[in-house]
Amino acid sequence: MSKQVNDAMRLFVITIIAGCALGGIYMVTKEPIAAQNLKMQQDAYKAVLSEAEIFEELEGDRFSKENIVENYKPFLAGDPESYVDDDIEGVVAGVKDGKYIGIVITVNAHDGYAGDIRYSVGVDREGVYKGTSILEISETAGLGMRVKTDPSFLEQFNEVKVDKYTLVKDGTGSSSEDKIDAISGSTVTSKSMLRGINAALAVSRDIKESHEKTVGGVPIE
């Protein structure tokens, strides 16, 4: 057997062994990684709807992970605000004592200054905004990143019931519940966050008006 054949055989064996090793590592780490991702998501839900005991997905194929983005594209585009740069990637209902108490909507805003911004928005059963938890962001440090590092921006939303918030750049945000001051030098990021939150508010109203149910049979009303 020639040296070239021997070398090829050795390389083949090494590749097989390496592949099996990587496969074994994947199988060992698959469940812990999935569990950690689930915990992070549940923590995000709890951060924006702390009163909930559990979070349940909604009944129906249109709310599945495979369909929800495409299902809500026409709805968001058809809204008077036309939230075409926002995708709804997930919806779960907060449940306490077997009753619906609010909803958490995960938005992927594609109009950030440096790319996508993903966050979960909590809205209670009365339509009151309860909070936003940022999941992924890559905005400019010291500027757009301040929507995450400086709590004063999101604190402006103040758990109030409004149909939508309006961004202002003149420092008058504190004069009205529905007006939000943009972060200085980061209007694009501020607008992206505000529009995504408004999109989540619109979706929460749509779900309630549609009389949906959770997979556990809890009516959203």
| pLDDT confidence of residue 85 | 93
The answer to whether residue 15 is domain-embedded is: no
Model-level pTM?
0.81
Distance CA 159, CA 86 (A): 22
The per-residue pLDDT of the chain, averaged, comes to 88
**Over the stretch 169-205, which tens digit does the pLDDT of each residue have?**
877 766 688 999 999 999 999 999 999 999 999 999 9
Q: Mean pLDDT across the stretch 122-150?
A: 94
Higher pLDDT, 42 or 38: 42
pLDDT band at 19 (very low <50, low <70, confident <90, very high): low
Residues 6+ away with beta carbon under 8 Å from 27? none
- Domains: count for the chain: 1
Three-class secondary structure assignment of 146-166: HHHHCCHHHHCCCCCCCCCCE
Structure tokens at 174: 């504190």
The answer to whether residue 74 is domain-embedded is: yes
The answer to whether residue 219 is domain-embedded is: no
The answer to whether residue 26 is domain-embedded is: no
**Over the stretch 150-161, which tens digit does the pLDDT of each residue have?**
999 999 998 888
Q: What percent of the chain has pLDDT over 70?
A: 85
Is 80 exceeded by the pLDDT of residue 110?
yes
pLDDT band at 15 (very low <50, low <70, confident <90, very high): confident
The answer to whether residue 116 is domain-embedded is: yes
The answer to whether residue 6 is domain-embedded is: no
The answer to whether residue 125 is domain-embedded is: yes
| pLDDT confidence of residue 169 | 87
Burial of 142 (0-12, 13-18, 19+ CB in 10 A): exposed
pLDDT band at 24 (very low <50, low <70, confident <90, very high): low
pLDDT band at 58 (very low <50, low <70, confident <90, very high): very high
Structure tokens at 194: 């505000």
Range of the domain at 166: 49-209
Question: DSSP secondary-structure letter at 175?
Answer: G
The answer to whether residue 37 is domain-embedded is: no
| pLDDT confidence of residue 176 | 80
CB 148 within 8 A of CB 75: no
